[in-house]
Amino acid sequence: MPFKFEETDIKEVKIIIPKVFEDKRGYFCETYKQSDFLKNGIKEVFVQDNQSYSKKNVLRGLHYQLPPYQQGKLVRCISGEIFDVAVDIREGSETFKKWIGINLSSVNKKMIYIPPGFAHGFYTLSETATIHYKVTEEYAPEYDSAIKWNDEDIGIEWPSGEKIVSEKDRNAKSLREAKLL
């Protein structure tokens, strides 16, 4: 199998490590194979690919889309390094408000699967970083939403350093004020 699927403290969120074939020319790895993902409980169909470029200390998030356009995401860092976060915002879930954070980089090649029902954000650790992610629903601006990245009810332990945040993310609502799923 070209992937190792690791469980996290939130059973629906998975860390995925591709098998990397390296030699003196470089490397090759598969980054998605539907049959392997299905065998590991990831049934969503990915319909759009996105790429994001960020400079050091940029923090993006916590973003999500409201029903009926909730997005699942498969996130990987193709250059540089980020601290990537998934937050369970499903009211009534036994893991509501819990979060998972992991460093993704072009060196470790790890990916994170974030199912629908979760908010997503990341913080750039390297001088620059390029993120590639697949989503299970197309972007729908009228259903786009965000929660404050530093919401006290969630308590994410972001890496230290300056936080460069967009106006949209600076003005995001708290978890208590936000429309959830």
Tell me: the pLDDT tens digits for 31-58? 999 999 999 999 999 999 999 999 999 9
CATH 2.60.120.510, applies to 46-170:
no
120 is catalytic: no
State which amino acid sits at residue 173: K
User: Does the pLDDT value for residue 64 go beyond 80?
Assistant: yes
pTM of the model: 0.95
Options 32, 53, 63, 120, the catalytic residue: 63
Please state, for a pLDDT cut of 70, what percent of the chain lies above it: 99
pLDDT at residue 10, as a whole number: 97
Options 53, 132, 133, 143, the catalytic residue: 133
**Measured between alpha carbons, how far is 102 from 74 in angstroms, rounded to an integer?**
13
Using CA atoms, how far residue 137 sits from 94, 131, 144, in Å, is 25, 18, 12
**Measured between alpha carbons, how far is 128 from 35 in angstroms, rounded to an integer?**
33
pLDDT at residue 63, as a whole number: 98
**Measured between alpha carbons, how far is 129 from 56 in angstroms, rounded to an integer?**
8
132 is catalytic: no
Band (71; pLDDT cuts 50, 70, 90): very high
Band (75; pLDDT cuts 50, 70, 90): very high
Can you read off the two tokens belonging to residue 27?
Answer: 């490397």
